[in-house]
Structure 1
Amino acid sequence: MRLICPNCGAQYEVPEDVIPQDGRDVQCSNCGDTWFQPSTQMMAEEAEARAATPPPATEAGSVDAAHTREDALQEPPQDAWPSAPEPEPAAAEEHWHEDPDAPAPGTPPAAPPEPEADPAPAKRRLDPEISRVLREEAMREEALRSGRDSLETQPELGLEDLPEDEAARRARQSEERVARMQGLDPAPQAHAAPLDRDRLDPQPGSRRGLLPNIEDVATNAPGETKPATPPPADAPAPPARKRGFSRGFLLVILLMALAILVYSNAAMIAESLPQADPYLSSYVAWVDQWRLWLDAQAQALAAE
């Protein structure tokens, strides 16, 4: 027997003996809906009763009325009144007049009128304060631009052709002297280098920055270099470098040897110094413990 859920349409195949003769309420496991399920016998009795009952008269009448309406629609309609006579075309042509506004035959149709453009929106007036600020900015930019354009460059005024003053002449002579001491040719420098007005002191009395440093001249002069003097023969030799690593290594070796001697001669030292017996016994026990630990580690490594 097949059960169909009226809510979600889920189908279930169950034996017929699950539903009793009087029917029962069942619940869908998919959506949880509950409905009354009649038994197979109840459904058969209901089908027999429906087949034995004749159709009602109202249904038959409605069917006949529907057939009658279809037949009426299929029949062609009959004219109840005679049709009016059609007017003669000659009479219509007698009353025809040419439209003066109509275009001549053969002329192209006129273009449709263009839509009127929307009126321009009214301009918003600028705030007077904002316009004043903008005007001031424009004036400032124009002033800066005019000042930048009016800047002129002046060519050389022939300063090299001017006669040298006393300070420039002394400066040139000192430079030539230094170049001569260094073994250079002062002539090209004197004629090629232009007159530098920035190096001259504005005050004629102070010429400290014009002359070169005497120490630099003495150091760079090639003819005045003195050879280095050798040290005297009886000078003491510099002390040897201390070798801290060697001394530390020797100290560790000595301490290890002393510890081994104390361990091996502990009984003899205890007889000579009975007061040191407890310290020697603890020291020997500590060394024995370390020996046993090393022995165990060595055996473990050998076993691997």
Structure 2
Amino acid sequence: MRLTCPRCSAQYEVPTAAIPAAGRDVECSACGETWFQPASAGSDGPLQMPRGDEIPQGDGGSQAIDPSAPPPRRRELDPGIRDLLREEAEHEARVRAREAGQTAATTASARPAAPLQTPSRTPPQAPSGDDNARRLAEAQARTARLGATPGAVTHRPASRADLLPDVEEINSTLRSPSQGAQPTVSAQDRARQRRNFRIGLAVPVVAALLMLFVYLNADRIRLSLPQTTPAIDSFTATLDQGRFWLDAHLQALVGLFRA
């Protein structure tokens, strides 16, 4: 049975028994094209290979392909497409490796910790005389080395931050009491403060009005209450002196402005 590739027109000679009555899928070994080959489409008769001088030259026409010959080299991919596919494969490999690492870390964290093994304690062995002599010699050698190099052990000088006082402590001691938390004043305390302010303002005003009333009605008070005459005279004389003193100073001040 003769098979012809619908893509590259390559022809193959296969046994008739290779194609069942229901047909089967076949693949071209030259271009990789796959198609369904029915049993009735095959042509009987042997496939005659053309001689070397009968092979047409150029690109046109179909050429007979020897089934035993190696398949032709397939067309290479575009470099850009090949790089893109390689980057996708590397990215997929990194994602899988990261997922595998996370799974391993989760499994390790979920795994119960192994019980601690208590080291077996062995009774200390009494040092022998040779060990005592060796340790004494080593101690003497270390002492001699320390004595020969007195400058080997140096003290780290204190930093300037350790020598200076703490700034926060100084600020806390210098902070005035007014900067502290202000006590909350209740509504009752505010009402008491307002009442005290009104009383403190009203007392001088009432006293001034009483003094003015007594000064203006001094004659009537003397006639009504003769025993208050000395006090009324002293009071009016004091107010008159105050009036004269204030008048003199006001005239002097007015004279300064006019000059």
TM exceeding 0.5: no
User: With CA pairs under 8 Å and 6+ residues apart, which has the higher RCO, 1 or 2?
Assistant: 2
| Structure whose CA Rg is larger | 1
Which structure has more helix as a fraction of its residues?
2
TM (normalized to structure 1)? 0.23
TM (normalized to structure 2)? 0.27
